[in-house]
């Protein structure tokens, strides 16, 4: 039960206003240092946990009563989501109810041995039971409260302070599917190598260019590698071609044309880095636990974060206290992300890898993934507000090409998808129709969306984010020509 006490205290430290609203008392906590911390939390309306920690750092004697500052801060690690506050409080109330019942039985037995009258026994037990009844807490939202909550949201939406859907910056997506829900988990499913990471990077940049503050967490790569991929995507430079040119240059084997190409690539990459620096995107890399990520996203939500991306959900480190099977861990992490989205009322875009062979044709003959194909935990789709499956025709074309460069006769775009585009199939949408969308796919730079010149042009016009990247018109032709020269 001490763990539950720490979880409840962790929630209160993350959001002190929950402590003020709590009907718990210090009697619900067995550990003396936990009681002292709870009393301190209830003593005033703290702005946040940092204010309380600063208070403890200035009051050594008070800090000693709560177990020390490091111990007090560690409670937050036990509570990854404030959405679970009711669960922790209910557990502590049940514990206290059992304690009160046991005390009532002991008191009744003692009174009986002392020869007390029956009415005295009944009164003593009744008082104990009344104390338990007072401790109960309703969880049903009244009709008035429910209606008022919705009315408040509508007022914010009509004033433009809140939107039920957020634009992605991709005109095709926003026209077809309005945008993405402003709350809930949006899940992308794809096979290894299909383009999950590239899609996440492209969509994150598109939303940042549309004015949204974005955070990307990559479970497979470092933050530096993620930023590098984004900059290469913005610049329209193939990382493989850059590697080839720099290798030849380091060995002194670049001819005049290649050296000119290297310099042009370098210029564009530096310009892209400057564009990246101006985008409201923060990045974290591999190694973070799901609990730590939730804490980071929660803190950023207080500072205006609009949407968070996770790439990908099955690769988090195992959480302690959960069965050590990968399936159990993934289900736990998926539920944490769902609870986090509900708590901060922001969308969370997650990518997940599907089961099946990494090479060749799927054993079941299914080219486009289904909702239940998620690797190790098919139930991921149950926590998601919307689910989309990704497919690319050139992915299959490459896998059906032999060592001599001959494409197998079994390859057809009708079955495997059109080459040069990335197909996004809507598998689940709680509101609206399904269907599929085909977006242009730039294979060398593995990118969906804007070309470099368009981004520079729009940035130069007014130096402000634009609502969409698909209004370039003739500019696309010139960009395609430059991209061909650079990747030659």
Output the pLDDT for position 469: 37
Section 371-377 average pLDDT = 83
User: How confident is residue 21, by pLDDT bands cut at 50, 70 and 90?
Assistant: confident
Instruction: Map out the domains of the chain with their CATH numbers.
Output: 2-101 (1.10.860.10), 166-486 (3.40.50.300)
Please name the residues in contact with 352: beta carbons below 8 A apart, sequence gap of 6 or more: 187, 188, 189, 196, 312, 313, 314, 374, 375, 380
Output the pLDDT for position 133: 55
Under DSSP, the state recorded for 113 is: H
27-66 residue pLDDT tens: 889 889 999 999 999 888 888 888 898 999 999 999 999 9
Q: At residue 123, does pLDDT exceed 80?
A: no
Section 140-157 average pLDDT = 80
User: How confident is residue 486, by pLDDT bands cut at 50, 70 and 90?
Assistant: very low
Q: What angle do CA 431, 153, 333 make, to 5 degrees?
A: 60
Mean pLDDT of the chain: 82
Output the pLDDT for position 459: 66
**What percent of the chain clears pLDDT 70, i.e. is strictly above it?**
84
Contact of 2 with 92, CB cutoff 8 Å: no
Q: At residue 479, does pLDDT exceed 50?
A: no
- CA 265 to each of CA 271, 346, 359: distance values in angstroms, whole numbers, following the listed order: 10, 37, 33
Distance between CA atoms of residues 472 and 148, nearest Å? 44
161-206 residue pLDDT tens: 778 889 888 888 988 888 999 999 999 999 888 888 989 999 999 9
User: How confident is residue 468, by pLDDT bands cut at 50, 70 and 90?
Assistant: very low
């Amino acid at each position: 039960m001490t763990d539950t006490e720490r979880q409840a205290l962790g929630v209160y430290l993350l959001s002190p206003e929950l402590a003020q609203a709590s009907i718990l008392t210090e009697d619900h906590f067995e550990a003396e240092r936990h009681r002292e911390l709870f009393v301190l939390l209830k003593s005033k309306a703290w702005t946040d946990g940092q204010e309380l920690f600063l208070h403890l750092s200035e009051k050594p004697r008070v800090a000693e009563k709560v177990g020390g500052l490091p111990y007090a801060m560690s409670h937050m690690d036990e509570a990854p989501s404030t959405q679970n506050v009711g669960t922790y409080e209910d557990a502590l109330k049940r514990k206290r109810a059992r304690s009160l019942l046991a005390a009532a039985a002991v008191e009744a037995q003692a009174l009986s041995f002392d020869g007390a009258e029956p009415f005295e026994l009944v009164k003593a037990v009744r008082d104990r039971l009344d104390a338990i009844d007072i401790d109960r807490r309703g969880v049903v939202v009244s009709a008035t409260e429910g209606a008022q909550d919705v009315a408040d949201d509508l007022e914010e939406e009509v004033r433009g302070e809140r939107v039920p859907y957020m634009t992605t910056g991709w005109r095709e997506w926003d026209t077809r599917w309005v945008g993405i829900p402003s709350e809930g988990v949006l899940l992308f499913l794809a096979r290894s190598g299909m383009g999950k990471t590239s899609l996440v990077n492209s969509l994150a940049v598109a939303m940042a260019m549309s004015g949204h503050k974005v955070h990307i967490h990559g479970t497979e790569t470092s933050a530096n590698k993620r930023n590098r991929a984004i900059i290469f995507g913005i610049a329209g430079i193939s990382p493989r071609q850059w590697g080839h040119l720099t290798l030849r240059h380091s060995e002194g084997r670049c001819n005049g044309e290649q050296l000119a190409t290297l310099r042009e690539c370098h210029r564009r990459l530096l310009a892209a880095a400057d564009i990246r620096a101006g985008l409201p995107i923060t990045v974290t890399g591999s190694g973070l636990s799901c609990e730590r990520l939730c804490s980071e996203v929660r803190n950023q939500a207080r500072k205006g974060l609009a949407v968070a991306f996770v790439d990908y959900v099955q690769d988090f480190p195992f959480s302690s206290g959960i069965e050590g099977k990968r399936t159990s861990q993934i289900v736990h992490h998926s539920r944490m992300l769902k609870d986090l989205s509900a708590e901060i009322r922001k969308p969370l875009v997650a990518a997940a890898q599907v089961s099946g062979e990494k090479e060749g044709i799927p054993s079941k003959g299914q080219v486009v993934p289904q909702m239940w194909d998620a690797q190790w935990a098919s139930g991921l789709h149950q926590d998601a507000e919307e689910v989309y499956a990704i497919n690319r025709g050139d992915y299959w074309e490459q896998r059906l090409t032999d060592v001599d460069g001959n494409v197998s006769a079994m390859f057809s775009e009708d079955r495997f998808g059109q080459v040069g585009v990335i197909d996004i199939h809507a598998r689940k949408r709680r509101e609206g129709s399904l269907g599929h969308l085909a977006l242009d796919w730039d294979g060398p730079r593995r990118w969906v969306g804007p070309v470099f010149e368009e981004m520079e042009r729009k940035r130069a016009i007014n130096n402000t984010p634009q609502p969409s990247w698909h209004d370039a018109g003739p500019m696309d032709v010139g960009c395609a020509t430059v991209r061909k020269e650079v990747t030659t």
